Amino acid sequence: MEAVPVSLLAYVPLVLVAFAVALATVSLLVPRVRRFAHRVNAVQVGGEAHGYGRRQHVGAVPNIGGLAILGGFLVALFAGNLVAPSLLDAYRVELLAILLGGSIVALVGLIDDIYEVPAAMRLATHVLAAGILVVNGVTIDFITNYFGGAPYVFIPELLAVAITLVWVVGFTNAFNFIDGMDGLSSGVAAISSLSLLAVALQFPDRGASVLILAALAGAALGFLRHNFNPATITMGDSGAYLLGYVLAGVSVLGALKVTAAVTVVAPVLILALPLLNITQVTVRRLRRGVNPAAAHNDHLHDLLRRRGGSPRGIVYVMWAATLVLGVLGMLLSQTPPVLLLATVVAAVLLIALVSYLRWREVDGERLQALATAAGDQLPRR
């Protein structure tokens, strides 16, 4: 069995601190964000019209959970910088570019969650945020050469800029498209982040990517603690845009710009589920002659629901598909078997743990409600 890269040992404190701080901070922030959402009426009512479709959740649920995700993510990045500043030097500017762009898309998404922002303005913001990456050197400027000769094929500068803009803007919106069921997008983000983290850990100069991905995984799991079915809060556009943008940006920074052992296909494969969903959605809507950007109940999870799948069962299936794609991406990246196995085990156990905590909470609330109802029925003297 191939040994774990020596670089992993140097990354351990950074990973543990960033992950733990993000998870704890988001977990603490969510209840406060939830109370704030109710005060400003930032809630989505289940069953109400949404574009050409209807929202599928039950009750009035706060929809600005992305604010908690952003807060936990930022605090974790700051903590990671304090723990291992020297590991971030190689890509510090690029890290700050991803941080700035992610904050912009999250804040515009927050405004959209509360007041609604025109689609054209949201798209312009995404292009601006992607442009921040490009001007700071985060671009897809080469791919692996599979046909012999030079190990890489370098892309002309203008084409590299165009490809990067399309990738970042496209995936930011693709991730938003899968945020349609309790726990789905937060679980997908956690699994994808952990898979990309395993790829980045193989290389000694990927401290910025390691920090971002560990923080993102912790933030996603901290949010899943409250977002699993039945959710007490949803991430809204603010959270979905943030997670999609950061995953797109860090995949360019940490998984594409590496040695020939890692191909351009690996991160795309790891992030394939949101891409598959937005592709089939766009094709379906164009065939029907409707606006591809308008909401409709025609996503992959909607199709599974029409076939009789339960909400939790559908989420489990899509989590499993994301994990399988992550494993394939790690295999393609020649991730050492022990690191690959550790990533799969960590993803399964961590998601199972936070889901279990939510189950226990729901059971406790149900028992309390039954006890209250029984007390109300007792005869009064």
- Half-sphere exposure of residue 43: CA atoms within 13 angstroms, side-chain side: 19
Any domain includes 367: no
- Proportion of the chain in helix, strand, coil states, percent, rounded to 5: 70, 5, 25
Calculate mean pLDDT across residues 300-307: 83
Q: What is the per-residue pLDDT across 233-289, written as a single tens digit (0 to 9) for each?
A: 999 999 999 999 999 999 888 544 544 334 567 788 899 999 998 899 888 888 888
> What is the predicted pLDDT for the residue at 1?
42
Any domain includes 14: no
Instruction: State how many domains the chain has.
Output: 1
End-to-end distance of the chain based on CA atoms, in angstroms? 74
CA proximity to 179, closest of 25, 37, 315? 315
Residue 373's pLDDT band, with cuts at 50, 70 and 90, is low
Mean pLDDT of the chain: 86
Examine the pLDDT at 292 and tell me if it is beyond 50.
yes
Any domain includes 22: no
Quote the CA–CA distance of 300 and 277 in Å, as a whole number: 6
Any domain includes 13: no
Residue 141's pLDDT band, with cuts at 50, 70 and 90, is confident
> What is the predicted pLDDT for the residue at 258?
46
- How far out from the chain centre does Cα 307 lie? 26
> What is the predicted pLDDT for the residue at 171?
95
Any domain includes 334: yes
Please state the pTM of the whole predicted model. 0.90
Q: Which domain holds residue 246?
A: 30-359
> What is the predicted pLDDT for the residue at 56?
60
Q: Which of the two residues, 148 and 212, has the higher pLDDT score? A: 212
Lowest mean pLDDT among 35-39, 135-139, 190-194, 237-241: 135-139
Any domain includes 41: yes
> What is the predicted pLDDT for the residue at 109?
95
> What is the predicted pLDDT for the residue at 58?
65
Examine the pLDDT at 210 and tell me if it is beyond 60.
yes
Please give the structure tokens belonging to residue 318: 């899509």
Q: What is the per-residue pLDDT across 220-230, written as a single tens digit (0 to 9) for each?
A: 999 999 999 88
Cβ-based neighbours of 139, under 8 Å, separated by 6 or more? 133, 160, 161, 163, 164, 252
Quote the CA–CA distance of 114 and 266 in Å, as a whole number: 36
> What is the predicted pLDDT for the residue at 9?
79
Question: What CA dihedral angle connects 96, 97, 102 and 104, to 10 degrees?
Answer: 110
Is the four-CA dihedral 307, 309, 315, 318 of positive or negative sign? negative
Examine the pLDDT at 344 and tell me if it is beyond 70.
yes
Any domain includes 25: no
Any domain includes 162: yes
- How far out from the chain centre does Cα 230 lie? 19
Examine the pLDDT at 113 and tell me if it is beyond 80.
yes
Quote the CA–CA distance of 124 and 232 in Å, as a whole number: 31
Quote the CA–CA distance of 226 and 128 in Å, as a whole number: 32
Length of the chain, in residues: 381
Calculate mean pLDDT across residues 94-104: 95
Query: pLDDT exceeding 70 applies to what percent of the chain?
Result: 85
Residue 379's pLDDT band, with cuts at 50, 70 and 90, is low
Quote the CA–CA distance of 318 and 185 in Å, as a whole number: 10
> What is the predicted pLDDT for the residue at 260?
39
CA-based diameter of the chain, in Å? 92
